Amino acid sequence: MLHCETRIESRQAELRRIVALTEQFGTENCLPGTVVNDIQVALDETLSNIVVHGYDNPASGMIVVRLACQNGEVCIEVEDDGQAFDPLQAPLPDLTADLAQRQVGGIGIHFIKSLMDTVCYDRRNGKNLLRMIKRLPARSDERQPNPMTPPPTDGVAVLAPHGRIDTASAERFGDQVVALIRAGCRSVVIDLCNIIYVSSAGFRAMLLAHKLMHKTNGRIVICGLSPELRRLFEIAHFTTVFAICGTREEGLAWAEPC
């Protein structure tokens, strides 16, 4: 499958179809997992933005997604007939602000620009066309899973999500963290060793939870980041917001109340 094209309705529920399509496309074209992850993040950001902001009546919209792999690069095209919007003209978020001033939105387009090698926008015949290019590396060293046996938590809450924290799952993830905080927990370790990627929706959920925890003088500690996931945290400048540890054991030690 060197080329593929699909159409989806402008609904959040449809985004899961694109995740599955991208995974199949990556498998059939022998793409490195890191490349597939970057493409999925970029598509999640692009499509969720169209669904939320592109149409006055979202259910009436149709979105076309095209993927092509050739000449050492992957071309991703997203076409919709919603309101005109050039993401390249959107202002960059302030990623250096302290916790009190940090905004919960605005990093999705920053992710797209950072993860893709080329991003172009055009408005043709009443339609938005976003074209993204991801160059393939000469070789890829895939990170092997590193399963970890949870040690005793000694009263510190541990949250260990699996898969992705994207538009479809971010709300549930955020609700889980907030529920722990509102239940009186003052130390939460979020172990991301089984997470493939986090989209801007996931980072918004973490930032909101972190702000809520900050009001209680509690701690949220992040651990288990793969090199690819750490790169997303660095792009979003979240390494300066959260305490980040290598392993769950280190996270538990950091989060344990004095």
**Per residue in 56-84, pLDDT tens?**
876 678 999 999 999 899 999 999 999 99
118 has pLDDT over 50: yes
Residue 10 is encoded by which pair of tokens?
Answer: 């402008």
**Cα gap 166→211, rounded to integer Å:** 20
Query: Which helix (H) or strand (E) is 33 found in, with range?
Result: helix 33-53
Half-sphere exposure of 116 (CA within 13 A, CB side): 25
The letter for the amino acid at 176 is Q
Q: Which amino acid is at 10?
A: S
According to DSSP, the β-strands at 127-135 and 118-124 are: antiparallel
Indicate the pTM of the whole model: 0.75
Tell me how far apart the alpha carbons of residues 47 and 212 are, in angstroms, rounded to a whole number.
29
Structure tokens at 251: 């996270």
Query: pLDDT tens, 181-235?
Result: 988 888 999 999 999 999 999 999 999 999 999 888 889 999 999 999 999 999 9
Question: Which is nearest to 153 in space by CA: 189, 186, 194?
Answer: 189
Instruction: Tell me the percentage of the chain whose pLDDT exceeds 70.
Output: 87
The residue-averaged pLDDT of 152-157 equals 61
- Half-sphere exposure in the Cβ direction for 173 (13 Å, CA): 27
